[in-house]
Amino acid sequence: MLLACRRAPRFCAAAAGSGGAARLPEVNIYQYEICPYCNKVKAFLDWQQVPYKTMDVNPLTKGGIRFSKDYRKVPIAFIDGVQVNDSAEIIKKLVEVLGRDSVTEQLADPEINKWVDWTDKKLSVLLFPNLTRTFTESFEAFGYIMAIPHMWLPMKMVNRLVGGWAMWMANDKIRKKYNIEDEREDLLRCIDEWTVELSAKGGTFHGGSKPDLADVAVLFEVNSFERSGNNRGSFFVGDETLVRDPHVLMATEVAPVMVLLPFLKGQDANQSRFVSLTDIILGASSAYGDCRDSFKHMVSVCRDSIVKQLECICEVKALPGGSEAGQEKVYRFSVERLVAWLAVVVRKTVAEAQSSGLYFTEVGDCATDEMRQDRLTRFMCELCYHFALNDGEIVEKVAKRLNVDISQSLIPSPTKKAISAPPGSAAINQKRSRPSEAKKVDAKRARLEQAAKGCKKISSFFTKVPSKK
């Protein structure tokens, strides 16, 4: 039986207490890659730095769990050879086996249990209908099947087609069962509950300066949505051996809510609009305008952590084991995610993001390395317009990590007078330039000027927070 091995991530922020057990249990998990309950169990193991192996179960035949006659769901875990069913029971068993006092206390905390139950009974329920609104989205959600190494190719194709269709057909049934009218809006409101809770706590995480069991349950359960492909801001390469982006963020204590929650695409009668938690906090939606204080708090946390995150990204290359190519993918993914996050967080409204034409999701859609590099260069250009005055050094560091020459991308400020051309050069330039190219340059300049104006509107959010030196 083929099992994919997962090392315990090196970057977990919540290390076990000194009273933890010296010997780590042997853990095997039977899973669906996009199952939120499976992701919650893996999140707990990652958090506690416990190595584990995974086995992807065939969703149609359930062939991988034929040994389990009475229980035909996932996750199923074998902990030191003992079968344990259901995510909640698996976590309880792991806490018992590990014997770590800090986690045992958290498991008995009513406040933490309230949010753990909230993820199971509310958040997880809303993820399924958001994954399966259309057949296209359901088909996309089953894309992880194609990366399962032990499954025969025809079986992969059948699973993706039939499984996607079955999930799509079950959407209405689930919505009626849980009385879900608008799955997108309900999910956004559900996410907002968590955001308000973090804001009330006044810390980076629910647990304060370090994540607790509630943080792990919420943030990594949402990872099932990201792994399905519905997170439009995801650069995840689909390799099970890679360190996931949340680990880097947890290690650097950057406010994870700003990045990990899904980048949702909403459809209405008149237009297609992109909505993320960042957009909500920035007030792009009037219904969530009261989240500005929460945003200010997150900005203060993030600004103090950007340099630390860059250092952490550089350390990714030093991960023990694994191929050099795999480590390089982790490094590129982490850096690109940072750049993408910076590009989005400075935008004021969805409309400005659309008009700029610089969606960070374009980077993942590039067909060639040259196109990819060009998109990243344009992101750096926009970042400089927004951050150069107060955070030019940080932008420079990001550019250096990406090997991007931002000096060639910047367009002179419109307030500066253009240098007059030498006599006789005008005619030559006119002959060489094409009208279409001139229009493109003008359009690009206009977009960047608009981005600069948008930056002034939110400058108060940044100038009040001291930069980290």
Beta-bridge mates of residue 205: 208
Residue that has been written with the tokens 């259309």 in this structure: 134
pTM of the model: 0.51
Separation CA 371–CA 373 (nearest Å): 5
Select the more confidently predicted residue: 104 or 298: 104
The answer on pLDDT for 162 being more than 60 is yes
- Please give the biggest Cα pair distance in the chain: 88
Residue type, 315: E
Domain boundaries, the chain: 303-413+441-469
- Calculate the alpha carbon distances from 61 to 57, 66, 73, 402 in Å: 8, 9, 12, 44
pLDDT at 79 over 90: yes
Of 310, 342, 315, residue with least CA distance to 327:
315
Instruction: Give, as one character, the DSSP assignment of residue 235.
Output: -
Q: Using one digit for the tens of pLDDT, what is the confidence trace for 390-436?
A: 445 545 555 555 455 545 433 333 333 333 444 443 443 344 444 56
Q: What percent of the chain has pLDDT over 70?
A: 40
Give the lowest-confidence range in 26-30, 80-84, 138-142. Answer: 138-142
Q: Which two tokens stand for residue 36?
A: 């939120």
Q: What is the DSSP letter of 266?
A: E
Residue 359 has pLDDT above 90, yes or no: no
Q: Which residues pair with 78 in a beta bridge?
A: 28, 83
Q: Give residue-wise pLDDT tens across range 286-344.
A: 333 333 343 344 444 444 444 444 444 444 444 445 556 555 554 454 444 444 444 44
Which one-letter DSSP state was computed for residue 62?
-
Task: Say what the pLDDT of residue 236 is.
Answer: 26
The model's pLDDT over 176-218, given as tens digits with 9 standing for 90+, comes to 999 998 887 787 678 767 767 776 776 557 887 677 888 888 7
Are the C-beta atoms of 34 and 141 separated by less than 8 Å? Answer: yes
Taking 70 as the threshold, does the pLDDT of residue 362 lie above it? no
What count of other Cβ atoms lies within 10 Å of the Cβ of residue 443? 11
Coil, helix or strand for 267?
strand
User: How many Å separate Cα 457 from the centre of its chain?
Assistant: 27
Which whole number is the average pLDDT over 350-354? 38
pLDDT average, residue stretch 97-124: 91
Average pLDDT over residues 244-253: 30
Residue 233 has pLDDT above 60, yes or no: no
pLDDT at position 24 is: 86
Residue 174 has pLDDT above 90, yes or no: yes
Helix (H, G, I), strand (E, B) or coil at 281: helix
Which among 107, 99, 35, 97 has a CA at the least distance from the CA of 65? 35
Q: Indicate if the alpha-carbon torsion angle 37, 110, 301, 353 is positive or negative.
A: positive
Whether the bond into 75 is cis, omega within 30 of 0: yes
DSSP assignment letter at 18: T
Q: What percent of the chain has pLDDT over 90?
A: 19
pLDDT for 143 equals 85
CB atoms within 10 A of CB 267: 11
Q: What is the pLDDT of residue 130?
A: 81
3-state SS assignment for residue 31: strand
Whether residue 98 contacts residue 16, with contact meaning beta carbons closer than 8 Å, is answered with: yes
More confident residue, 196 or 88: 88
Q: What is the pLDDT of residue 131?
A: 82
SS3 for 27?
strand
Q: Which of 90-99, 250-259, 343-352 is least confident?
A: 250-259
Average pLDDT taken over every residue of the chain:
61
pLDDT of 437 strictly over 50:
yes
